Amino acid sequence: MKSDNWFSLKYSDGEVVFLDQTKLPAVEDYVHTQSYLRIAEAIKRLEIRGAPLIGIAAAYALALSVKQGYSQQLFNDSYLTLASTRPTAVNLFNCLNRMRDFCENLPENKRNFENLILEAIAIHKEDEQGCEAIAENGKKIFNSKSRVLTHCNTGKLATGGIGTAFGVILRGFEAGLVEMVFADETRPLFQGLRLTSYELSKSNIPFKVIPDSAAGVLIRDGKVDLVITGADRIASNGDSANKLGTFSLSVLCKTSGIPFYIAAPSSTIDFKAGGFEDIPIEERSSDELIQYLDPDLGFKNIDSFNPSFDVTPAENISGIITEKGFYTYPYNFS
């Protein structure tokens, strides 16, 4: 697993090709599709996941939905189907709205697949470039060779480029500023254990995967210099939704006096959300809590509380890094 010559999602020759992330790391299964419904299903099932990549995939899907011919009704229906896939990552809605606005600004006889796909490609390219700018803006979080802890997955599998938090770590490592990475396993779907470890291996970055609950002792014992994660939606006051467990990490950092950073493209900022109370949190099925356990254990019909995300209050965040700059508390992104 030592090659970086791989991709999570691309558009080529009239189709979208994506790596089914539910099968990683065991199987690298690339799915080819021209169907917007297949892409909507992939987003729902987390075959395609990570806030920026969800937005990019949805933009391609909206374009593909009118490949056989444009009609306003068809476009609206596909928009609504894609918008209903996942509620928290605002990149999904920002990308869909950008595609809708682009389409509405075209003369009626130009509203077609050929023009819409160009806008989706532009969205993808901008995210790729944005990742590099985030990594550049994030370099200053490393004082010397740092031991970094991260949560969930924020690299190539989650974005259109090198990643958000992962991109900062990657470029930092290449510059000799990162010693090693602790990757939270990220229960219940193991995005850290399955996906971040996959990306870290591919990039030859030394790492250890840890149970989420090990972060406390590592931080207390001075084995972590900083924590950096991504985000799925950032309110205008800086409150940041990210994978469940991020909030607890921020509290650990605060009580132990180590910095906690968020890295995300500016398309993750929701200017309509004033604070945490305006961020919808996705709840997922209890099946996902037990899906990696041996079926012979006999779990059935257990009640669960399984939110996919939590919100870290702005005051717990030492810095928010976007492609536009490095922001500190109190946050003002305008």
Decide if residue 319 touches ligand MRU (CB under 6 A): no
Nearer to ligand MRU, 159 or 250 (CB): 159
User: CA Rg, the chain, in Å?
Assistant: 19
Q: Three-state SS for 227?
A: strand
Decide if residue 158 touches ligand MRU (CB under 6 A): yes
Residues 1 to 30: which contact ligand MRU by CB under 6 A?
none
Decide if residue 154 touches ligand MRU (CB under 6 A): yes
Residues 91 to 150: which contact ligand MRU by CB under 6 A?
none
Stretch that binds ligand MRU, among 24-32, 50-58, 114-122, 169-177 (CB under 6 A): 50-58
Decide if residue 205 touches ligand MRU (CB under 6 A): no
Decide if residue 159 touches ligand MRU (CB under 6 A): yes
CB of 51 to ligand MRU, least distance (A): 4
Q: Which residues of 25-46 are buried (b: 16+ CB within 10 A; e: fewer)?
A: eeeeeebebeebebbbebbeeb
Distance separating alpha carbons of residues 83 and 94, to the nearest angstrom: 10
Stretch that binds ligand MRU, among 9-17, 47-55, 135-143, 219-227 (CB under 6 A): 47-55
Decide if residue 191 touches ligand MRU (CB under 6 A): yes
Going by their DSSP bridges, the two strands 30-33 and 146-150 should be labelled as: unpaired
Stretch that binds ligand MRU, among 58-66, 111-119, 229-237, 326-334 (CB under 6 A): 229-237
Nearer to ligand MRU, 230 or 314 (CB): 230
Q: Three-state SS for 41?
A: helix
Give the count of residues interacting with ligand MRU (CB under 6 A): 19
Sheet hosting strand 233-235, strand order edge to edge: 269-270, 233-235, 240-243, 309-312
Strands (E), 106-162: 146-150
Distance separating alpha carbons of residues 53 and 15, to the nearest angstrom: 16
Nearer to ligand MRU, 89 or 99 (CB): 89
Contact of 31 with 42, CB cutoff 8 Å: yes
Distance separating alpha carbons of residues 279 and 68, to the nearest angstrom: 36
CB of 327 to ligand MRU, least distance (A): 17
Nearer to ligand MRU, 159 or 318 (CB): 159
CB of 331 to ligand MRU, least distance (A): 18
182: amino acid identity, one letter: F
The residues carrying an active-site annotation are 232
Contact of 115 with 106, CB cutoff 8 Å: yes
Decide if residue 232 touches ligand MRU (CB under 6 A): yes
21: amino acid identity, one letter: Q
Find the binder of ligand MRU among 50, 138, 160, 172 (CB under 6 A).
50
Going from the C-alpha of 333 to that of each of 18, 23, 209, the distances in angstroms are 33, 37, 34
Q: Virtual CA dihedral for 172, 213, 44, 93, nearest 10 degrees?
A: -60
Nearer to ligand MRU, 50 or 87 (CB): 50
Find the binder of ligand MRU among 85, 243, 316, 323 (CB under 6 A).
243
Contact of 242 with 312, CB cutoff 8 Å: yes
Decide if residue 52 touches ligand MRU (CB under 6 A): yes
The residues binding ligand MRU (CB under 6 A) are 46, 49-52, 89, 152, 154, 158-159, 164, 191, 229-232, 242-243, 308
